[in-house]
Structure 1
Amino acid sequence: MIGTLYFFALLSSTPALGGLSQWSELSAEIMAGSGGADFCSCDAFLPSSTFPLKDLVMVEQTAEQIYHKLEMEMGKMEDYEIKMTQYAERIIELTTDIEILEKKTDTNNDATLEDLEVKIKQVEALIKELQLSFKSSTTVFESLHQEITLIVETLDQMEKTHDRNLVLLTRREYIKIQMELEECERRHQELFNPNIGSCAHTGIIKVSKPIVSQLNAHLSSGYIYGGWGKDSKPIRDRESMYWFSGDSGAYINNIRFYTNYKNLVLRTPFLHHTMPNQWRGIGSNYIVRDNTLYYQNYIPFGLAKYNFTSATYESRVIPGASKTFSYAKLSYQIFDFAADETGLWVAYTTDESNGKMVVAKINEESFGIVEQWQTSLYKPSINNVFMVCGVLYAVRTVDIQNEEIFFMFDTKTRQEKQISILFERFQDKYSNLDYNPTDQKLYMYNDGYYVKYHLWFNHTTEATAKPLMVQNPI
């Protein structure tokens, strides 16, 4: 006698997976063998691409480890704040003591001076200790970002090839960790560098490791043209807003807006705006400022802006601007918009400059050029430029892993010089690299990935190096 039984079994997940589950169909056939012996033969028919439960368990375990490290760093931040308050109070006391001694010179004696000298050296030692602690925390932050980057890549791959809903549960945990890491770094930066918005420095001295959020909203590394970031002059109640626009081609077709970082990572925009055909742009070097998209116009060739509040469009033609010269790795990068602490800028070449970069200041109300400067920078030899405090910085490739900020031009002094600040690339090519003055970060759109960098500045009273050459404005 042959009987056939078909049944389904639900494979429950481990507790670490938060109740996730997977179905598989099993077929069991009960057969009567020779000699009257019955036996049971079971075959499992699983999908051709089973869900990688072990990988997801590993991801969640790693998340717990990262979260523990982050909690420890948050505790250190509180200690740093207490210590800095105490040190500031001691410095104030020493300053008062010194002022009293200066006024009453007749009462000065060697014992008093020696006592003050000892106290000053003690405070100096405490400050050096705190500086080392800061450096240690910075190293930990970079390590955590690298760990998160690897996990984000794993989640992106799993989301493209498996059930997205299963992956989203774990991704939300990583979003929470990323946001808390951002907050911890923000507090760290405020303690170490409370001068966001200030230009009281002589320039960039260091760039962090790449901080990778994830693959773009299309989940496609083929969308190499595009950009992302924050509004450099956000309107009220939009301070936390992020934007993204990307495509496999060079045209600017649409742009997405997200209320905050969490919704950016979850790919849930509150506005998805499609550009009208007659206002469509080209290239990738666009920015969002004051809820307005500044971009390169297709027809007529020139500058364009579209305000999302008023739904109004405006364009400008720049006489003499050249269509010939683009950046080294991508075509159609003719006009490069930038924003910094001093306002709105655009960089390009002209027919007369023969490929050398021109930087121009834009009046945001009239959308006209206020002033422009000629540099010695040959555009086809570089990858991108950005502005910080009225200074143009240029970036080029050094090797398969590293980029270099190698050139700066100060529009205030009309001086330029060679520098060398190395930083890592996440992927090979990038189409958009812009500085945002609201958080002093660089935002890079890197082969479809959202990547950003922290910047450190030299907060001294005067420049540490002489310029190599001087240029006059056009």
Structure 2
Amino acid sequence: MITILFCLLFLRATLAFRNETVSPGQSCTCEAFLPETVFPMGELELLEKSSVQISHKLELEISKIEMFESKLTIYMEKTLNLTVLIGIMENNPDSYTELQIQEVKIQIKQIEALVVELKASIELSSTVLVSIRKEVTAMIVILTQLETTYDKNLVLLTRREYIKLQEKLEECERRHNEIFNPNIGSCNRGFISRVSKPIISHLNAHLNAGHRYGGWGKDSNPLAGSENMYWYSGSSSTLVSQVSVYADYYRLIMRQSMKTHELYTSRDWRGVGNNYIVRGNTLYYQYREPFSMGKYNMTSQTAVYRVVPSASNRFSYFYSASQNLDFAADENGLWVTYATDASNGRMSLGKIDEEAFALKEVYETNIYKPSVGNTFMVCGVLYATRSVDIKTEEIFYAYDTHTRKESYVSIPFEKFQEMYVYLDYNPIDQKLYMYNDGYYVSYHLWFHQNKNKAQLLI
């Protein structure tokens, strides 16, 4: 139908231009060239309908979480009252009859049953959130494909709706996570117990899967007024030449940066690797020349470097080259991992004095750095990962700087795609941030209740 209409319009325009007519015995032919791909409006409409359904599911889960929070408050008050009563009874045991003691025991069992029921409800809600997250992730991938294949302006409205949906899901997951991990920013907890499913946010700001080297995340010690700020740096090579900052998550996804800092202007401050973090509005990274620790202050837009005398540039991580100095931040401050020639590639961990920008303490481990996928720090504990298969990564090693003891553990988690080049923890929201084949990916963490107790395998 479109071809016939096009032919008629073309014929009419041609005849008008030539001032010619076609007699009844003559014939006319016309060639029309249509685009090979037609924008899939049906697919976009289906995504919009799905977003409405998911929004309704999230509203239901948010109302459940509000109920969980109110129940938890009530149960905590009852438990506190019972604890006080039991303390009084222990001090004056002869003042209470056997019947009164039995009544207290019944109350304890009732609260116990209520807590078990609440825990089951919360775990069921967690399963629902994981399912919703999978749906949103699949749709974000489809939207990204549409954006890169067709005119991104046609997808923009749906993209905005999905950003709102993601923000609602993030808030729901955050509140849900706080029920399990109420002490964000505190180290009054044990080792990591499990890692969530991958949370896929978006293809990078360049909308280019060729930018496979990079990193992203939040400032681990944000300046006042910058608590919602995100940063991103990405490239098609391991050269680090710029970093962009975004006011909040929405602007990160919409690719609306506040500023892009260039590390190669009047002076060459460029770095290498995918091993940087932002802390206190300052980029810590591996300086390119000379091989050293780099520190670029995004406020003053100046850089300094410090050579680590024993660090070698021969030992990188398994997934990517040039990751010789890897920076990390946790609740205890700023760290850097590296390997030395003297140790034949075994990893060293340095605690950095941020003011002096120098190592103030070094810890030696027995782990061979090139066998490691990546490392990160949580509450003074170094965690190392390795590949299990193309879909699965595993936290397999932990080194506790408080006790100077190392442990072999097994905490598997999903990678989303086979190759990733960046993994770091942020103490502000207790999340892992991963840069995976050009995509922004993050994870929630759960911890053991028993402090300083890991699940040892060997």
* TM-score for the superposition, normalised by structure 1: 0.89
Aligned residue number for residue 385 of structure 2: 395
Amino acid at match of 2:134: Q
CA distance in 2: counterparts of 1:26 and 1:109, whole angstroms: 101
- 1:451 to partner: Cα distance: 0.2
Matches within 5 A, 1:336-351: 336-351=326-341
Summarize the Cα distance change of 1:25–1:151 in structure 2 as closer, same or farther, 3 Å threshold. Answer: farther
Report the CA distance shift for 1:139/1:352 in structure 2 as closer, same or farther (over 3 A).
same
1:166-315 → structure 2 map (5 Å cutoff):
166-276=154-264, 278-315=268-305
> Secondary structure at the residue paired with 1:194?
coil
When structure 1 is superposed on structure 2, of 98-107 and 292-301 the one drifting more is: 98-107
Of 24-33 and 331-340, more deviation after overlay is shown by 24-33
Q: How big is each residue's C-alpha offset from its partner over 1:399-443, in whole Å with a ceiling of 9 and x where there is no partner?
A: 111000000001111100100000000111111100000000000
Q: Given residue 286 of structure 2, which amino acid in structure 1 is its aligned partner?
A: Q
Q: Per-residue CA shift, 1:247-305, capped at 9, x if unaligned?
A: 00110011111100001111110111111251110111000000000000111111110
Bigger mean CA deviation after superposition, 88-97 or 108-117: 88-97
The structure in which a higher percent of residues are strand is 1
State how far apart, in whole Å, the 2-side matches of 1:213 and 1:174 are: 10
Instruction: Tell me the equivalent position of 2:15.
Output: none
Moved over 6 A (4+): 28-35, 41-45
Give the corresponding residue for 2:346.
Answer: 356
Hey, what does 1:328 align to over in structure 2?
Answer: 318
Q: 1:155 and 1:175 mapped to 2: Cα distance?
A: 11
Deviation at 1:92, TM superposition (A): 2.4
Which amino acid in 2 is paired with 1:233?
N
SS of structure 1 residue aligned to 2:113: helix
- The answer as to whether partners of 1:292 and 1:307 remain within 8 angstroms in 2 is yes
Decide whether aligned partners of structure 1 residues 26 and 106 sit closer, same or farther in structure 2, where only a CA change above 3 A counts. farther
1:92 aligns with 2:80: yes
Rounded Cα–Cα distance in structure 1 between residues aligned with 2:224 and 2:7? 55
- 1:299, 1:149 → 2: CA distance? 40
Which deviates more from structure 2 when the two are superposed, residues 206-215 or residues 305-314? Answer: 305-314
**Cα pair 2:7 2:31 within 8 Å, conserved:** no
The whole-number CA distance in structure 2 between the counterparts of 1:280 and 1:192 is 41
TM-fit CA distance, 1:28? 8.0
The aligned amino acid for 1:322 is: S
Partner of 1:445: 435
Indicate which of 133, 137, 150 corresponds to 2:125.
Answer: 137
Q: Secondary structure at the match of 1:267?
A: coil
Is residue 375 of structure 2 the alignment partner of residue 375 of structure 1?
no
Instruction: Return the letter of the residue paired with 2:374.
Output: N
Once residues 224 and 128 of structure 1 are traced to their aligned partners in structure 2, the CA distance between those partners, rounded to angstroms, is: 45
- AA partner of residue 406 (structure 1): F
* Structure 1: 5+ residue stretches without partners: 1-5, 9-23, 36-40, 469-474
Matches of 2:363 and 2:341, distance apart in 1: 14
Tell me, yes or no, if structure 1 residue 422 matches structure 2 residue 444: no
- C-alpha distance in structure 2 between counterparts of 1:363 and 1:26, whole Å: 77
What is the alpha-carbon distance in structure 2 between the residues aligned to residue 323 and residue 120 of structure 1? 60
Contact 1:282 1:297 in 2 (8 A): yes
Q: Is the 8 A contact 1:27 1:42 kept in 2?
A: no
Are the aligned partners of 1:383 and 1:396 in contact in 2 as well (CA < 8 Å)?
A: yes
Contact kept, 8 Å, 2:348 with 2:363, in 1: the verdict is yes
Q: Residue type of the partner of 1:84?
A: L
**How big is the shift at 1:394?**
0.3
Q: 1:464 Cα deviation (Å)?
A: 5.2
Paired with 1:275 and 1:453, the residues of 2 have a C-alpha distance of 30
- Larger displacement relative to structure 2 (224-233 or 24-33): 24-33
Answer with 104-113 or 66-75: which moved more.
104-113
Q: Distance in 1 between matches of 2:145 and 2:7?
A: 26
Which of 81, 101, 110 is the matching residue for 1:113?
A: 101
What amino acid sits opposite 2:87 in the alignment?
A: E
| Equivalent runs, 1:30-179 vs 2, <5 Å | 46-179=34-167
Per-residue Cα deviation, 1:187-233 (whole angstroms, up to 9, x for no partner)? 11222211001111221000000000010011111111110000000
Letter in 2 for 1:99: G
Change (3 A) 1:461 1:251: closer
SS in 1 for 2:421: strand
SS of residue in 1 equivalent to 2:268: helix
Q: Which amino acid aligns with 2:328?
A: A
Q: Residue by residue, what CA displacement relative to the aligned partner does 1:347-399 show, whole Å, maximum 9, x if unpaired?
A: 00011011100000000000010010110000111110011111110000001
**Compared with structure 1, are the counterparts of its residues 61 and 271 closer, same or farther at alpha carbon in structure 2 (3 Å cutoff)?**
same
Q: Is the 8 A contact 1:402 1:425 kept in 2?
A: yes
Cα RMSD between the aligned structures?
A: 2.5
Query: Identity percentage over the alignment?
Result: 51
Deviation at 1:48, TM superposition (A): 3.0
Structure 2 unmatched runs, 5+: 13-20
